[in-house]
Amino acid sequence: MFYLGDEIATIKLMPQLRQNIITGEWVVIAPERAKRPSDFVSAESPKPSLGENCPFCLDNELYKKESLSEFETKDIYVIPNSFPAFVEDPQNCSPRSFKVEDGFYTTRPSTGGHDVIIIKKHNLQIFGFAEHIWEDLFLVAKRRYSYYRKDCNVRYSMLIYNQGARAGASIYHPHAQLMASNIIPNQISKEIHGSQSYFEENGTCVFCDLLAHEKKQRLRVVEETESFLVFTFYAARFPFETWVVPKRHSAHFEQQQVSLLRELGQLMKRVIGKLDANLKSPALNFYLHDSPATVGKADYFHWHLEIVPRVSTYGGYELGSGTIIDVLSPEEAAKYLRQKSA
Amino acid sequence: MFYLGDEIATIKLMPQLRQNIITGEWVVIAPERAKRPSDFVSAESPKPSLGENCPFCLDNELYKKESLSEFETKDIYVIPNSFPAFVEDPQNCSPRSFKVEDGFYTTRPSTGGHDVIIIKKHNLQIFGFAEHIWEDLFLVAKRRYSYYRKDCNVRYSMLIYNQGARAGASIYHPHAQLMASNIIPNQISKEIHGSQSYFEENGTCVFCDLLAHEKKQRLRVVEETESFLVFTFYAARFPFETWVVPKRHSAHFEQQQVSLLRELGQLMKRVIGKLDANLKSPALNFYLHDSPATVGKADYFHWHLEIVPRVSTYGGYELGSGTIIDVLSPEEAAKYLRQKSA
């Protein structure tokens, strides 16, 4: 039995958003993703399952049942996550669904959507994606962003990728995920507030200024194309943390033209190839930041991708202080990444 | 060669605080802790070194050179970290040491202090600490907090512990660390701002209210003594995240009486024992939160310990959104932890 606040249930439960009463930050409690507390006993880093019984190799029956075929391409399926952190809104956009639990804590249902964007070919890791797979990945994501943008309940969509067990991947079969949430995630709130106050102070977009600075200084630049600059981030939270930023100011990912997303796909193949060549297939994540679905034009915000190799382990200071100790300078990281291409 | 902003050096460098220009958050770039970018190639979770040549088994010469003997007890040494994230302030408390790098980014030297608090006995893991070791650990920490409180450069001290490679421990020999920084860490800023605004709104300490609520509801309580309540946190960022909170309101750790810290030591032995018994020697961190050294009395803040077992792995959504998906409900975790004692 799971206890979720005042509700007790034995079967699949709604995931629940809970607010930290001290800091105001949200977490999602999604207990259906784990079976029992004892599953955590002697927990090693998860070993991604290989081979047969792969849940992402869809047989005909599953394909018919699960696949969102209007979003399918030659190389990619989209299916709903079977263990969603955000579920379809049962209240259909009721104006306010906050709840004070036991007269003290603030909670609400964790609603929205949770897609798995599956590369059809089982035996392919991110380092082996062909250009057309990369291109398709961003085109499919654009269509799913547009889809969720029309959902009156969704406040934010985020495309993410987990490569390798150390980066949180629990299934070997290559797949991205898209989380569409009824809240603005904590980190996005911080970026929005920060970039808004930068705009108020300077009258410019902080990302545009950052681009101009990095482009001029070139200490941290890893790669450049007509429309994108790729550089290691000055205040990196991870060794080799690498940002991919479009040169033209735009707040919303799903408004980008197909040609730009094709350029992004081709570029990502090269950037991930560089990480592979220089770090030998590191575990890594990437994720996309853009402006919330509820915001129209935003002079202060600028969509971008962040890539974070998982080659270090946070200790108690990082978790307790929130102040990350990064043991590699971003300048040295960029220099190293410029050495070899895939 | 490491590049740190506009300075190029071949030898040991000052660690550097860098501010994220978008969110305002600080990171520490401490490149001397890693040797070369190539050290990250095919990086596995670090394997803590065992056996001979242990840097924390001090021979006579090292002992004389390194040990801060006035803080030593029968079971514990204190030495400065050889790869400090925060170094002694060379400018001796100059009023302002911020610097704008290349006319754009904000940086400053990462100063303060970085202690290693070593349990003398090499072959002992945290699960085997005797009561008197636990007691000594908090008494030594109290003395080091008092020491740093007198340092005009230090703004915040934090005691932390890393148990196991998955929790960031790189050396097997049991040791805590104390980081004394010239900034208020990001997470502490959030807790301070949050608890201040709770106080302004309610006229009470959020931690005191939280204690009263948990004590009454008991869904998440794991253990209780005369002076402490131990419970899983409602908005947990980790499965089995467990807080140890003193019942009496007090903002500063180093002002606690010896008898209370002895009670804390005895309690921690039992709580860590419970985690060991129920989760079989999990990797874990704990860290201490209290009010900054520069603040006197604080009605709104309440010192406490947080224990976070490292039995799950963050993926791209957690890192990209800052919104943690916790796959175990804190209520279920508490129930599970109440089962067995060490």
**Contact yes or no for A329 and B190 at CB 8 A:** no
What percent helix, strand, coil does chain B show, rounded to 5?
35, 25, 45
Residues of chain A with C-beta less than 8 angstroms from the C-beta of B102: 213, 217
Say which residue, B45 or A312, is predicted with more confidence. A312
Helix (H), strand (E) at residue B145: helix B131-149
Class of domain A187-339: alpha beta
For residue B96, the model assigns a pLDDT of 60
Helix (H), strand (E) at residue A302: none
Q: CA B256, B258, B260, B266 torsion: positive or negative?
A: positive
Structure tokens at A96: 């306010």
pLDDT tens-digit series, residues B241-265: 999 999 999 999 999 999 999 999 9
For residue B279, the model assigns a pLDDT of 95
Q: What is the mean pLDDT of residues A319-338?
A: 95
Residues of chain B with C-beta less than 8 angstroms from the C-beta of A184: none
**Contact yes or no for A317 and B85 at CB 8 A:** yes
pLDDT tens-digit series, residues B264-304: 999 999 999 999 999 999 999 999 999 998 888 899 999 99
Q: Is A61 helix (H, G, I), strand (E, B) or coil?
A: helix
For residue A300, the model assigns a pLDDT of 95
Percent of chain B scoring above 70 in pLDDT: 90
- Can you give the residue ranges of every domain in chain A? 1-33+95-108, 187-339
8 A C-beta contact, residue B86 and residue B59: no
Tell me the CA distances in angstroms from A16 to A108, A155, A235, B167, B211, one per residue in order.
6, 16, 33, 27, 22
Residue A337 has pLDDT above 60, yes or no: yes
Of A105-114, A255-264, B227-236, the one with minimum mean pLDDT is A105-114
Residues of chain B with C-beta less than 8 angstroms from the C-beta of A280: 41-42
φ, ψ (nearest 5 deg) of residue B267: -65, -45
Q: What is the mean pLDDT of residues B308-322?
A: 96
Task: State how far residue B301 is from chain A, nearest Cα, in angstroms.
Answer: 10
pLDDT tens-digit series, residues A306-325: 999 999 999 999 999 999 99
Residue A2 has pLDDT above 50, yes or no: no
Task: State how far residue B163 is from chain A, nearest Cα, in angstroms.
Answer: 9
Tell me the CA distances in angstroms from A27 to A332, B217, B317, one per residue in order.
35, 21, 12
Residue A91 has pLDDT above 90, yes or no: no
pLDDT tens-digit series, residues B141-195: 999 999 999 998 999 999 999 999 999 998 999 999 999 999 999 999 999 999 9
C-alpha span between B106 and A196 (Å, rounded) = 18
Tell me the CA distances in angstroms from B279 to A141, B123, B284, B339, one per residue in order.
39, 21, 11, 11
Q: Which of A321, A335, A337, A339 to mutate to test the interface with B (most CBs of B within 10 A)?
A: A321
Residues of chain B with C-beta less than 8 angstroms from the C-beta of A193: 23
Instruction: Tally the residues of chain B.
Output: 342
Find tokens 């709580």 and name the residue: B271
8 A C-beta contact, residue A303 and residue B289: no
pLDDT tens-digit series, residues A124-154: 999 999 999 999 999 999 999 999 999 989 9
Per DSSP, what are the bridge partners of residue B118? B77, B175
Average predicted confidence (pLDDT) for chain A: 90
Residue A7 has pLDDT above 50, yes or no: no
C-alpha span between B207 and A108 (Å, rounded) = 22
The DSSP symbol for B166 reads G
